[in-house]
Structure 1
Amino acid sequence: MERRRGEALEAAILEAAWDELSERGYANLTVDSVARRAGTSKPVVYRRWADKQQLVEAAVVHRNVTHLIAPADTGSLRGDLVATLTEMSDKGGAFLGQLSVLLAGYFTETRTSFVDLREAILAGRSSGRDEIMKRAIDRGELDPAKLTPRIASLPFDLVRAEAMMTLRPVTREVVEEIVDTIFLPLVR
Protein backbone atom coordinates (compact mmCIF):
# COMPACT_ATOMS: atom_id res chain seq x y z
CA MET A 1 0.00 0.00 0.00
CA GLU A 2 1.37 3.37 -1.01
CA ARG A 3 1.86 5.84 1.80
CA ARG A 4 -0.40 8.88 1.57
CA ARG A 5 1.04 12.35 2.05
CA GLY A 6 0.01 15.96 1.77
CA GLU A 7 -3.46 16.67 0.45
CA ALA A 8 -4.41 12.99 0.04
CA LEU A 9 -3.59 12.26 3.68
CA GLU A 10 -5.31 15.41 4.89
CA ALA A 11 -8.45 14.60 2.89
CA ALA A 12 -8.50 11.05 4.30
CA ILE A 13 -8.24 12.40 7.86
CA LEU A 14 -10.96 15.00 7.31
CA GLU A 15 -13.28 12.44 5.72
CA ALA A 16 -12.65 10.08 8.63
CA ALA A 17 -13.40 12.91 11.07
CA TRP A 18 -16.65 13.69 9.22
CA ASP A 19 -17.66 10.02 9.28
CA GLU A 20 -16.88 9.77 13.00
CA LEU A 21 -18.82 12.96 13.69
CA SER A 22 -21.79 11.72 11.63
CA GLU A 23 -21.88 8.34 13.35
CA ARG A 24 -20.81 9.17 16.91
CA GLY A 25 -21.33 12.90 17.44
CA TYR A 26 -18.80 15.39 18.72
CA ALA A 27 -18.90 14.17 22.32
CA ASN A 28 -17.91 10.62 21.36
CA LEU A 29 -15.45 11.48 18.60
CA THR A 30 -11.79 11.12 19.57
CA VAL A 31 -8.62 11.97 17.71
CA ASP A 32 -7.63 8.34 18.20
CA SER A 33 -10.83 7.07 16.52
CA VAL A 34 -10.31 9.48 13.61
CA ALA A 35 -6.67 8.41 13.19
CA ARG A 36 -7.63 4.74 13.27
CA ARG A 37 -10.39 5.24 10.73
CA ALA A 38 -8.06 7.23 8.43
CA GLY A 39 -5.36 4.58 8.71
CA THR A 40 -2.82 6.90 10.30
CA SER A 41 -1.57 7.83 13.76
CA LYS A 42 -2.58 10.39 16.37
CA PRO A 43 0.72 12.33 16.03
CA VAL A 44 0.03 12.74 12.29
CA VAL A 45 -3.38 14.21 13.08
CA TYR A 46 -2.02 16.47 15.84
CA ARG A 47 0.65 17.85 13.48
CA ARG A 48 -2.17 19.31 11.40
CA TRP A 49 -4.77 20.23 14.04
CA ALA A 50 -3.93 21.19 17.61
CA ASP A 51 -7.06 19.67 19.12
CA LYS A 52 -10.37 17.94 18.50
CA GLN A 53 -12.22 21.25 18.06
CA GLN A 54 -9.95 22.37 15.23
CA LEU A 55 -10.15 18.94 13.60
CA VAL A 56 -13.95 18.91 13.68
CA GLU A 57 -14.18 22.46 12.35
CA ALA A 58 -11.80 21.55 9.51
CA ALA A 59 -13.85 18.42 8.76
CA VAL A 60 -17.10 20.38 8.58
CA VAL A 61 -15.50 23.02 6.34
CA HIS A 62 -13.95 20.31 4.13
CA ARG A 63 -17.28 18.49 3.80
CA ASN A 64 -19.12 21.66 2.84
CA VAL A 65 -16.49 22.74 0.32
CA THR A 66 -16.25 19.31 -1.30
CA HIS A 67 -20.05 18.86 -1.40
CA LEU A 68 -20.90 22.41 -2.42
CA ILE A 69 -24.29 22.96 -4.03
CA ALA A 70 -23.89 25.30 -6.98
CA PRO A 71 -26.62 27.93 -7.14
CA ALA A 72 -29.08 27.25 -9.94
CA ASP A 73 -29.19 29.69 -12.84
CA THR A 74 -32.65 29.34 -14.33
CA GLY A 75 -32.96 32.94 -15.53
CA SER A 76 -35.31 34.07 -12.76
CA LEU A 77 -35.00 34.79 -9.06
CA ARG A 78 -37.93 32.52 -8.24
CA GLY A 79 -36.59 29.69 -10.38
CA ASP A 80 -33.07 30.03 -8.95
CA LEU A 81 -34.35 29.98 -5.37
CA VAL A 82 -36.78 27.09 -5.81
CA ALA A 83 -34.21 24.95 -7.63
CA THR A 84 -31.34 25.73 -5.24
CA LEU A 85 -33.38 25.39 -2.04
CA THR A 86 -34.92 22.13 -3.26
CA GLU A 87 -31.51 20.68 -4.10
CA MET A 88 -30.09 21.93 -0.79
CA SER A 89 -32.90 20.21 1.07
CA ASP A 90 -32.76 17.01 -0.97
CA LYS A 91 -29.01 16.64 -0.49
CA GLY A 92 -28.74 17.58 3.16
CA GLY A 93 -32.02 18.67 4.65
CA ALA A 94 -32.61 15.77 6.98
CA PHE A 95 -28.99 15.78 8.10
CA LEU A 96 -29.15 19.44 9.14
CA GLY A 97 -31.29 18.60 12.15
CA GLN A 98 -28.99 15.78 13.13
CA LEU A 99 -25.92 17.97 12.68
CA SER A 100 -27.12 20.42 15.32
CA VAL A 101 -27.35 17.55 17.80
CA LEU A 102 -24.06 16.00 16.70
CA LEU A 103 -22.27 19.34 17.13
CA ALA A 104 -23.93 20.40 20.39
CA GLY A 105 -20.80 19.65 22.43
CA TYR A 106 -18.63 21.49 19.92
CA PHE A 107 -20.78 24.63 20.16
CA THR A 108 -20.75 24.43 23.97
CA GLU A 109 -16.97 23.97 24.19
CA THR A 110 -16.12 26.65 21.64
CA ARG A 111 -18.91 29.04 22.63
CA THR A 112 -19.75 29.41 18.96
CA SER A 113 -22.78 28.77 16.78
CA PHE A 114 -23.73 27.75 13.25
CA VAL A 115 -23.19 31.37 12.20
CA ASP A 116 -19.53 31.16 13.22
CA LEU A 117 -19.14 27.81 11.51
CA ARG A 118 -20.77 29.22 8.35
CA GLU A 119 -18.20 32.03 8.33
CA ALA A 120 -15.40 29.45 8.52
CA ILE A 121 -16.97 27.51 5.65
CA LEU A 122 -17.27 30.59 3.45
CA ALA A 123 -13.82 31.93 4.44
CA GLY A 124 -14.27 35.18 2.59
CA ARG A 125 -15.95 33.63 -0.47
CA SER A 126 -19.39 34.77 -1.54
CA SER A 127 -22.17 32.29 -0.99
CA GLY A 128 -24.50 30.81 -3.56
CA ARG A 129 -27.23 32.87 -1.96
CA ASP A 130 -25.27 36.06 -2.66
CA GLU A 131 -24.76 34.98 -6.27
CA ILE A 132 -28.49 34.37 -6.74
CA MET A 133 -29.36 37.77 -5.25
CA LYS A 134 -26.76 39.61 -7.35
CA ARG A 135 -28.05 38.05 -10.59
CA ALA A 136 -31.61 39.01 -9.64
CA ILE A 137 -30.55 42.61 -8.95
CA ASP A 138 -28.68 42.71 -12.29
CA ARG A 139 -31.83 41.45 -14.08
CA GLY A 140 -33.95 44.09 -12.31
CA GLU A 141 -36.06 41.49 -10.47
CA LEU A 142 -35.02 42.56 -7.01
CA ASP A 143 -34.98 45.95 -5.33
CA PRO A 144 -31.55 46.13 -3.61
CA ALA A 145 -32.92 48.73 -1.17
CA LYS A 146 -35.25 46.07 0.23
CA LEU A 147 -32.60 43.35 0.44
CA THR A 148 -31.08 43.39 3.91
CA PRO A 149 -28.73 40.55 4.91
CA ARG A 150 -31.51 39.04 7.08
CA ILE A 151 -34.05 39.14 4.26
CA ALA A 152 -31.51 37.64 1.82
CA SER A 153 -30.93 34.72 4.19
CA LEU A 154 -34.62 34.28 5.04
CA PRO A 155 -35.62 31.60 2.47
CA PHE A 156 -32.47 29.59 3.23
CA ASP A 157 -32.99 29.91 6.98
CA LEU A 158 -36.65 28.87 6.71
CA VAL A 159 -35.80 25.78 4.64
CA ARG A 160 -33.04 24.83 7.14
CA ALA A 161 -35.42 25.37 10.07
CA GLU A 162 -38.12 23.25 8.42
CA ALA A 163 -35.60 20.45 7.79
CA MET A 164 -34.35 20.66 11.37
CA MET A 165 -37.87 20.49 12.77
CA THR A 166 -39.09 17.62 10.61
CA LEU A 167 -35.78 15.74 10.18
CA ARG A 168 -36.80 15.24 6.55
CA PRO A 169 -36.05 16.96 3.27
CA VAL A 170 -38.35 19.90 2.64
CA THR A 171 -40.80 19.27 -0.19
CA ARG A 172 -40.79 21.40 -3.32
CA GLU A 173 -44.28 22.61 -2.39
CA VAL A 174 -43.04 23.98 0.94
CA VAL A 175 -40.02 25.56 -0.78
CA GLU A 176 -42.36 27.25 -3.27
CA GLU A 177 -44.58 28.49 -0.45
CA ILE A 178 -41.55 29.99 1.35
CA VAL A 179 -40.34 31.68 -1.85
CA ASP A 180 -43.75 32.84 -3.15
CA THR A 181 -45.61 33.88 0.00
CA ILE A 182 -42.82 35.00 2.31
CA PHE A 183 -39.65 36.00 0.45
CA LEU A 184 -40.73 37.48 -2.88
CA PRO A 185 -43.35 39.86 -1.39
CA LEU A 186 -40.63 41.31 0.86
CA VAL A 187 -38.22 42.18 -1.97
CA ARG A 188 -40.50 43.34 -4.76
Structure 2
Amino acid sequence: MGESKPRRRGEQLERAILEAAWEELNEVGYAGVTIEAVAARAGTSKPVIYRRWANRAELVLAAWGRQSPMRPDFKDTGTLRGDLMALFGAIAHRADRMMGSMIAGVMGETFRHPEMAALLQERLKSPPMVQVIQKIIDRAVARGELAPVTVSPRAGRVPLDLIRNESMLCRTPVPDSTIAELVDEVYLPLLRGLQPNN
Protein backbone atom coordinates (compact mmCIF):
# COMPACT_ATOMS: atom_id res chain seq x y z
CA MET A 1 0.00 0.00 0.00
CA GLY A 2 1.38 3.37 -0.99
CA GLU A 3 2.00 6.09 1.53
CA SER A 4 -0.73 8.69 1.80
CA LYS A 5 0.23 12.26 1.01
CA PRO A 6 0.40 14.54 4.05
CA ARG A 7 -2.62 16.77 4.37
CA ARG A 8 -1.90 20.38 3.50
CA ARG A 9 -3.20 23.15 5.70
CA GLY A 10 -3.06 26.89 6.10
CA GLU A 11 -0.58 28.77 3.95
CA GLN A 12 0.61 25.67 2.10
CA LEU A 13 -2.93 24.79 0.99
CA GLU A 14 -3.78 28.40 0.12
CA ARG A 15 -0.62 28.71 -1.97
CA ALA A 16 -1.48 25.52 -3.88
CA ILE A 17 -4.99 26.80 -4.63
CA LEU A 18 -3.80 30.22 -5.80
CA GLU A 19 -1.11 28.69 -7.99
CA ALA A 20 -3.70 26.36 -9.49
CA ALA A 21 -6.03 29.30 -10.16
CA TRP A 22 -3.22 31.22 -11.87
CA GLU A 23 -2.34 28.23 -14.04
CA GLU A 24 -5.98 27.86 -15.03
CA LEU A 25 -6.13 31.54 -15.96
CA ASN A 26 -3.09 31.21 -18.17
CA GLU A 27 -4.44 28.11 -19.89
CA VAL A 28 -8.14 28.83 -20.38
CA GLY A 29 -8.65 32.56 -19.69
CA TYR A 30 -11.01 34.06 -17.15
CA ALA A 31 -14.18 32.89 -18.87
CA GLY A 32 -13.01 29.27 -18.76
CA VAL A 33 -11.96 29.20 -15.11
CA THR A 34 -14.17 27.12 -12.82
CA ILE A 35 -13.85 26.45 -9.12
CA GLU A 36 -14.15 22.75 -9.90
CA ALA A 37 -11.15 22.84 -12.26
CA VAL A 38 -9.06 24.85 -9.78
CA ALA A 39 -9.92 22.37 -7.02
CA ALA A 40 -8.93 19.43 -9.20
CA ARG A 41 -5.63 21.04 -10.19
CA ALA A 42 -4.84 21.95 -6.58
CA GLY A 43 -5.78 18.49 -5.32
CA THR A 44 -8.48 19.77 -3.00
CA SER A 45 -12.27 20.19 -2.99
CA LYS A 46 -14.68 22.95 -3.99
CA PRO A 47 -15.93 23.43 -0.41
CA VAL A 48 -12.36 24.05 0.74
CA ILE A 49 -12.01 26.82 -1.85
CA TYR A 50 -15.40 28.34 -1.09
CA ARG A 51 -14.49 28.57 2.59
CA ARG A 52 -11.72 30.97 1.59
CA TRP A 53 -13.12 32.78 -1.45
CA ALA A 54 -16.81 33.42 -2.03
CA ASN A 55 -16.71 33.25 -5.83
CA ARG A 56 -14.52 32.91 -8.90
CA ALA A 57 -13.73 36.61 -9.19
CA GLU A 58 -12.56 36.80 -5.59
CA LEU A 59 -10.29 33.82 -6.17
CA VAL A 60 -8.93 35.36 -9.37
CA LEU A 61 -8.14 38.64 -7.61
CA ALA A 62 -6.29 36.76 -4.88
CA ALA A 63 -4.30 34.74 -7.42
CA TRP A 64 -3.49 37.90 -9.37
CA GLY A 65 -2.32 39.73 -6.25
CA ARG A 66 -0.10 36.84 -5.22
CA GLN A 67 1.64 36.73 -8.60
CA SER A 68 2.63 40.38 -8.72
CA PRO A 69 2.51 41.97 -5.29
CA MET A 70 3.59 45.55 -4.79
CA ARG A 71 5.68 45.84 -1.63
CA PRO A 72 6.65 48.97 0.32
CA ASP A 73 10.37 48.09 0.14
CA PHE A 74 10.62 49.21 -3.48
CA LYS A 75 14.18 49.75 -4.68
CA ASP A 76 15.93 53.09 -4.11
CA THR A 77 17.45 54.52 -7.30
CA GLY A 78 18.79 57.64 -5.60
CA THR A 79 16.34 60.16 -7.09
CA LEU A 80 12.60 60.76 -6.93
CA ARG A 81 12.26 60.62 -10.71
CA GLY A 82 14.33 57.45 -10.88
CA ASP A 83 12.21 55.81 -8.19
CA LEU A 84 9.01 56.76 -10.01
CA MET A 85 10.33 55.55 -13.36
CA ALA A 86 11.22 52.20 -11.76
CA LEU A 87 7.81 51.97 -10.10
CA PHE A 88 5.85 52.88 -13.23
CA GLY A 89 7.98 50.41 -15.20
CA ALA A 90 7.24 47.65 -12.70
CA ILE A 91 3.51 48.39 -12.88
CA ALA A 92 3.66 48.33 -16.68
CA HIS A 93 5.46 44.98 -16.60
CA ARG A 94 2.84 43.66 -14.21
CA ALA A 95 0.02 44.89 -16.45
CA ASP A 96 1.65 43.29 -19.48
CA ARG A 97 1.76 39.94 -17.67
CA MET A 98 -1.93 40.08 -16.86
CA MET A 99 -4.34 38.76 -19.44
CA GLY A 100 -6.79 41.26 -20.90
CA SER A 101 -9.57 38.69 -20.83
CA MET A 102 -9.01 38.18 -17.11
CA ILE A 103 -9.21 41.89 -16.37
CA ALA A 104 -12.34 42.21 -18.46
CA GLY A 105 -13.83 39.18 -16.75
CA VAL A 106 -13.21 40.52 -13.27
CA MET A 107 -14.67 43.90 -14.22
CA GLY A 108 -17.69 42.14 -15.68
CA GLU A 109 -18.20 40.32 -12.39
CA THR A 110 -18.05 43.68 -10.63
CA PHE A 111 -20.94 45.02 -12.69
CA ARG A 112 -23.04 41.86 -12.28
CA HIS A 113 -22.45 41.15 -8.60
CA PRO A 114 -22.76 43.92 -5.96
CA GLU A 115 -20.69 41.88 -3.48
CA MET A 116 -17.76 41.90 -5.91
CA ALA A 117 -18.04 45.65 -6.37
CA ALA A 118 -18.02 46.06 -2.60
CA LEU A 119 -14.91 43.87 -2.35
CA LEU A 120 -13.01 45.93 -4.92
CA GLN A 121 -14.05 49.20 -3.30
CA GLU A 122 -12.85 47.95 0.07
CA ARG A 123 -9.50 46.94 -1.37
CA LEU A 124 -9.08 50.34 -3.01
CA LYS A 125 -9.42 52.16 0.31
CA SER A 126 -5.90 51.18 1.35
CA PRO A 127 -4.10 49.64 -1.61
CA PRO A 128 -0.47 48.49 -1.24
CA MET A 129 0.42 51.11 -3.87
CA VAL A 130 -0.17 53.88 -1.32
CA GLN A 131 2.51 52.39 0.95
CA VAL A 132 4.93 52.10 -1.94
CA ILE A 133 4.38 55.71 -3.03
CA GLN A 134 4.68 56.99 0.54
CA LYS A 135 8.00 55.18 0.94
CA ILE A 136 9.28 56.77 -2.30
CA ILE A 137 8.09 60.20 -1.13
CA ASP A 138 9.70 59.80 2.30
CA ARG A 139 13.02 59.00 0.64
CA ALA A 140 12.68 62.07 -1.61
CA VAL A 141 11.96 64.21 1.47
CA ALA A 142 15.06 62.82 3.20
CA ARG A 143 17.12 63.72 0.10
CA GLY A 144 15.68 67.24 0.04
CA GLU A 145 13.81 66.76 -3.25
CA LEU A 146 10.33 67.32 -1.79
CA ALA A 147 8.71 68.94 1.20
CA PRO A 148 6.92 66.43 3.44
CA VAL A 149 3.77 65.08 1.75
CA THR A 150 1.25 62.52 2.97
CA VAL A 151 -0.24 60.79 -0.03
CA SER A 152 -3.96 60.06 -0.01
CA PRO A 153 -5.34 56.70 -1.19
CA ARG A 154 -6.64 58.36 -4.36
CA ALA A 155 -3.32 60.05 -5.18
CA GLY A 156 -1.50 56.82 -4.34
CA ARG A 157 -3.60 54.89 -6.86
CA VAL A 158 -2.83 57.28 -9.72
CA PRO A 159 0.26 55.39 -11.04
CA LEU A 160 -1.74 52.17 -11.23
CA ASP A 161 -4.70 53.96 -12.85
CA LEU A 162 -2.50 55.64 -15.45
CA ILE A 163 -0.71 52.48 -16.49
CA ARG A 164 -3.89 50.40 -16.49
CA ASN A 165 -5.55 52.95 -18.75
CA GLU A 166 -2.64 52.91 -21.21
CA SER A 167 -2.42 49.13 -21.16
CA MET A 168 -6.13 48.50 -21.68
CA LEU A 169 -6.57 51.12 -24.39
CA CYS A 170 -3.49 50.22 -26.41
CA ARG A 171 -3.49 46.44 -25.78
CA THR A 172 0.30 46.50 -26.14
CA PRO A 173 3.17 46.78 -23.63
CA VAL A 174 3.51 50.36 -22.40
CA PRO A 175 6.69 51.82 -23.98
CA ASP A 176 9.40 53.52 -21.93
CA SER A 177 8.66 56.84 -23.66
CA THR A 178 5.06 56.74 -22.39
CA ILE A 179 6.23 55.85 -18.90
CA ALA A 180 8.55 58.88 -18.94
CA GLU A 181 5.69 61.14 -20.07
CA LEU A 182 3.41 59.85 -17.31
CA VAL A 183 6.09 60.43 -14.69
CA ASP A 184 7.31 63.83 -15.97
CA GLU A 185 4.03 65.35 -17.17
CA VAL A 186 1.55 63.90 -14.70
CA TYR A 187 2.85 62.37 -11.50
CA LEU A 188 5.82 64.57 -10.61
CA PRO A 189 3.68 67.72 -11.09
CA LEU A 190 0.95 66.10 -8.97
CA LEU A 191 3.35 65.39 -6.10
CA ARG A 192 4.82 68.88 -6.24
CA GLY A 193 1.30 70.31 -6.23
CA LEU A 194 0.52 68.39 -3.06
CA GLN A 195 3.38 70.04 -1.17
CA PRO A 196 2.30 72.57 1.45
CA ASN A 197 2.55 76.20 0.37
CA ASN A 198 5.62 77.98 1.64
Q: 2 CA distance for matches of 1:118 and 1:149?
A: 8
1:179 shift after superposition: 1.3
Deviation string for 1:61-113 (max 9, x for gaps)? 43344x75952311110000112211321243362744421312331212247
Paired residue for 2:166? 162
Structure 2 residue identity aligned to 1:78: R
- The 3 A distance-change label for structure 1 pair 149 and 163 is same
CA RMSD of aligned residues (A): 3.3
Contact 2:39 2:46 (C-alpha < 8 Å) held by counterparts: yes
Aligned to 1:40, the other structure's residue is in SS state: coil
Q: 2:147 aligns with which of 118, 143, 148?
A: 143
Q: 1 CA distance for matches of 2:147 and 2:120?
A: 28
Contact 1:82 1:176 (C-alpha < 8 Å) held by counterparts: yes
Contact 2:130 2:156 (C-alpha < 8 Å) held by counterparts: no
Task: Give the greater-gyration-radius structure (CA).
Answer: 2
Higher relative contact order (CA 8 A, sep 6+): 1
Q: 2:104 aligns with which of 91, 101, 105?
A: 101
Q: 1 CA distance for matches of 2:126 and 2:39?
A: 23
**Structure 2, unpaired ranges of 5+:** 193-198
The percent of aligned pairs where both chains have the same amino acid is 40
Aligned to 1:72, the other structure's residue is in SS state: coil
Paired residue for 2:16? 12
**Structure 1, unpaired ranges of 5+:** none
TM-score, structure 2 as length reference: 0.72
Structure 2 residue identity aligned to 1:88: I
Q: 2 CA distance for matches of 1:148 and 1:42?
A: 39
Contact 2:88 2:163 (C-alpha < 8 Å) held by counterparts: yes
Contact 2:31 2:102 (C-alpha < 8 Å) held by counterparts: no
Q: What are the residue-to-residue correspondences of 1:98-137 with 2, within 5 Å?
A: 98-108=101-111, 109=113, 110-112=116-118, 115-118=121-124, 122=128, 127-137=131-141
Structure 1 residue identity aligned to 2:24: E
Structure 2 residue identity aligned to 1:93: D
TM-score, structure 1 as length reference: 0.76
1:168 shift after superposition: 2.0
1:131 shift after superposition: 1.3
Q: 2 CA distance for matches of 1:126 and 1:145?
A: 12
Aligned to 2:81, the other structure's residue is in SS state: helix
